[in-house]
Amino acid sequence: MTDEAAQPAQPAHARMHSVSPETQDIVDLVLDYSRRRILATDTPLDHAASPSELRRLAGTTIGEEGLGSRRALAVFEHVLAPACITTDHPQYLSFIPSAPSKAAIAFDLVVSASALYGGSWMEGAGAVHAENEVLAWLAAEFGLPEGAGGVFVQGGTIGNLSALVAARDDARSRREAAGLASRPEGGWVVVCSAEAHSSVASAARVMDVDVIPVTADEGGVLRPDGVRAALEEHGERVFAVVATGGSTNFGVVDDIAGIAELKRDFEFWLHVDGAYGLTAMLSPLGRPHFGGVEGADSVIVDPHKWLFAPYDVCALIYRDPDTGRQAHTQHAEYLDVLTDQAHYDPSDYSIQLTRRPRGLPLWFSLATYGAAAYREAVTHSLALARQIADEIRRRPGLRLVREPQLSVVVFERDGWEREDYDRWSDRLLEEQRAFVVPSSHAGRPNTRFAIVNPLTTFEQLVAILDSMG
């Protein structure tokens, strides 16, 4: 009997963390699958399955003894993954797609494998340094001053919430410094477009503040006249105005420059929600729409949307990062070792304390390919949106709902009701041709192309239009 065979079997809890032949097999299996998936050029769109079907096909996967890595991975690869729509498919054109670069996807594995913590400089200085370089680059692209910075958070909802919490804290501090009550009579108010993203209203509910929605113009653009009226009516109650830098439904950019000019006459925090659209500033086709962003007090942009990073990541950038730090730094005895030092701790700039360094895949991709590749990819989407909009204009029976500003193209087919769009959309996905879901505006059904994937082609979009009959 060999010495190895004579060794007693490891207890289960030790097996999970030991480097053993079993562990090596698990790592090889996972890396092999990941390699095949990253390098695949024929990944199908796939589609959702019913709960009963998944229960039948997957069976019970969680038990006292475990399935073993091979069976568990087989269940994922052949049952669970095909029940998820592939968001980086070139013909995934619904909502706002994701199209992470190959470098970003691969490096996401490195981030997890390296057991990095990105909440403090003490624990993750190298990761924080790299993330901050990306944030500084984005801030410069958006025209914000040197020294602007922030943190990568989970998504636009948390980014908007964190920015608005900082805005209210800043307004409260100014009132207290002036000898006023920390909260104005009637409570705090945030002003935004009636077409602002739902996360603004969600943040307001969490913060227990009121939202004053201002009607946009016919093109969906929030104009300064409406904002001025709201500021005059609600006075000192207004602590922030949110301008949208590319709405999710239409890709519309508010009149940010005009709204920023109002800061000359009123005291408020200007936040730009650019979760989807602010990336367009990287392209000469998109930049002209974004005058005034340089006057913002905070902005957000989601790299998992149009900056080709994996889910889930949002860049929250403050004009003056100290305002974010004052609002969000958490204090506890076990954190004193961090808060007593003058280091740049990312967890001080949002509502999240624990965080993985989720900006690193974007850093690696940018460092690998260079910013010029990103500019070309964004320009491709903007040009393609204009090209397919021209095609829609030429086609009898199709009508643009609005002229596209960025890379979202919304259109109608004459005579179609919601049921017609539903049947058409279901057929496209069933045939694995495209994922294009119905939408609506002003009570009328429509559909839309959300174009962010550099591999999406004009010919693919034309084929989808042809399928409408």
**pLDDT, tens only, 122-158:** 999 999 999 999 999 999 999 999 999 999 999 999 9
Residue with tokens 């209203």: 201
Residue with tokens 């729509």: 85
Strand partners, 447: 411, 438
Phi, psi of 253 (to 5 degrees): -105, 125
**Does position 2 have pLDDT exceeding 50, yes or no?**
no
pLDDT at 12: 72
Nearest Cα residue to 159 out of 358, 342, 366, 406:
358
pLDDT class for 14, splitting at 50, 70, 90? confident
Q: Which helix (H) or strand (E) holds 212?
A: strand 210-214
Mean pLDDT for the stretch of residues 388-402? 98
The Cα 71–Cα 443 span in angstroms is 48
In the three-class reduction of DSSP (H, G, I as helix; E, B as strand; rest coil), residue 271 is classed as strand
**pLDDT, tens only, 18-35:** 889 999 999 999 999 999
The Cα 389–Cα 383 span in angstroms is 10
pLDDT at 10: 73
**pLDDT, tens only, 98-131:** 999 999 999 999 999 999 999 999 999 999 999 9
| CA 210 and chain centroid, separation | 25
**Does position 237 have pLDDT exceeding 80, yes or no?**
yes
pLDDT class for 11, splitting at 50, 70, 90? confident
Mean pLDDT for the stretch of residues 184-194? 97
Q: What is the mean pLDDT of the chain?
A: 95
CA distances to 4, 31, 107 from 35, rounded to whole Å, are 33, 6, 12
In what side-by-side order are the strands of the sheet with 298-301?
Answer: 149-153, 314-318, 298-301, 269-273, 238-244, 189-193, 210-214
Contact 318, 324 (CB under 8 A): yes
Q: Where along the chain do the CATH 3.40.640.10 domains lie?
A: 107-369
**Does position 332 have pLDDT exceeding 90, yes or no?**
no
Structure tokens given for 451:
């174009």
**pLDDT, tens only, 201-228:** 999 999 999 999 999 999 999 999 999 9
Cis peptide before 312 (omega within 30 of 0): yes
The helices-and-strands tally (H runs, E runs) of the chain is 18, 11
Amino acid identity, position 90: P
CATH of domain 107-369: 3.40.640.10
**Does position 290 have pLDDT exceeding 90, yes or no?**
yes
**Does position 358 have pLDDT exceeding 70, yes or no?**
yes
Q: Where along the chain do the CATH 3.90.1150.170 domains lie?
A: 371-466
CATH of domain 371-466: 3.90.1150.170
pLDDT at 338: 66
**Does position 257 have pLDDT exceeding 70, yes or no?**
yes
The Cα 48–Cα 31 span in angstroms is 25
pTM for the model stands at 0.95
CA distances to 36, 102, 187, 306 from 453, rounded to whole Å, are 20, 13, 43, 8
**pLDDT, tens only, 52-76:** 999 999 999 999 999 999 999 999 9
In the three-class reduction of DSSP (H, G, I as helix; E, B as strand; rest coil), residue 185 is classed as coil
Nearest Cα residue to 418 out of 392, 394, 443:
443
